[in-house]
Amino acid sequence: MQNKVTQLDYHEHNIYVGLDTHLRSWKVTIRVGQEYYKTFSQDPSPEILYKYLVRNFPNGTYFSAYEASFSGFTAHRELNKLGVKNIVVNPADIPTTDKERKQKDDARDSRKIAEQLAGSNLKGIYVPSVEIESDRALLRYRRTQVKEISRNKNRIKSFLYFHGITIPEQFAEKSYWSKRFTKWLLEVELPSKSMRTTLTEIVETVEFIRNSQYRLLRKIRLLSQSEKYKADTSFLISVPGVGLKTVMSFLTEIDDITRFNNLDQLCSFIGLVPTTNSSGEKESIGNITKRQNKVLRSTIIESSWIAIRNDPALMMAYQKLTKRMKPTKAIIRIAKKLINRMRYVLKNQTFYETAVVQ
Count of domains in the chain?
3
pLDDT at residue 222 greater than cutoff 60: yes
342: burial class by Cβ within 10 Å (0-12, 13-18, 19+)? buried
| Same domain for 195 and 169 | yes
Give, in order, the Cα–Cα distances in Å from 305 to each of 74, 233, 242, 269: 38, 20, 10, 21
Q: Which range (78-92, 116-130, 162-176, 196-210) has the least confidence?
A: 162-176
Domain contains 2: no
| Same domain for 298 and 340 | yes
Domain contains 358: no
pLDDT for residue 281: 57
- Rounded to the nearest angstrom, the gap between the alpha carbon of residue 46 and the centroid of all alpha carbons in its chain is 25
| Same domain for 239 and 338 | yes
- Name the residue range of residue 300's domain: 231-348
Per-residue pLDDT, averaged over 18-34, amounts to 96
Last residue of a domain, one of 191, 224, 257: 224
Domain contains 8: no
The helix (run of H) or strand (run of E) holding residue 332 is: helix 327-348
Last residue of a domain, one of 118, 140, 160: 118
Residue among 342, 141, 144, 135 at smallest CA distance from 229: 135
| This prediction's pTM | 0.89
| Same domain for 31 and 114 | yes
| Same domain for 344 and 239 | yes
CA distance 273 to 4: 63
Read off the pLDDT of residues 281-307 as tens digits, 9 standing for 90 and up: 565 566 788 889 999 999 999 999 999
| Same domain for 259 and 216 | no
Give, in order, the Cα–Cα distances in Å from 280 to each of 20, 177, 274, 284: 38, 56, 19, 11
| Same domain for 248 and 164 | no
pLDDT at residue 355 greater than cutoff 70: no
| Same domain for 336 and 303 | yes
CA distance 246 to 138: 13
